[in-house]
Structure 1
Amino acid sequence: MADKTFLIDYEWLGKTLSCHLHAGEWDQAEEQLDALRATGRIVGELVMEGEAAPMMTDRIGTC
């Protein structure tokens, strides 16, 4: 299970930006970064973040 958050810095349009990824250890984070370089793509926009279970508890079985 991923238990650490690693920060990634990158350059874009003359600025240094950051994002993060979750991995168990530094070497796993490096492997994930390599995979991101090779296969990464934008799949959507994050509009909300949080625990899903408490929000969905009263809706289970009503979809």
Structure 2
Amino acid sequence: MSGDVVNLRQFRKQKAHSDKEKQAEQNRIAFGRTKAEKSLTRALNEKAEKTLDQGRLKRPGDAPDGEKG
């Protein structure tokens, strides 16, 4: 039963560091954008949603827009 000796304290610190780095990368993507980039993304999403809704088929039993039922 021979194996490598691992220092758990260092392993935990290394894991915590890598977790923080992943979170930092996600934050840079989410919050590190200019106002123009955010508005462009919002406009593209709205356009894609409208295009998708235009292709949706209306069935006779469906509720009108804005109503649930």
Settle same-fold status: TM greater than 0.5: no
Return the structure number with greater strand share. 1
Q: Whose relative contact order is higher, 1 or 2, with alpha carbons under 8 Å and at least 6 apart?
A: 1
TM-score (norm 1): 0.25
More helix as a share of residues? 2
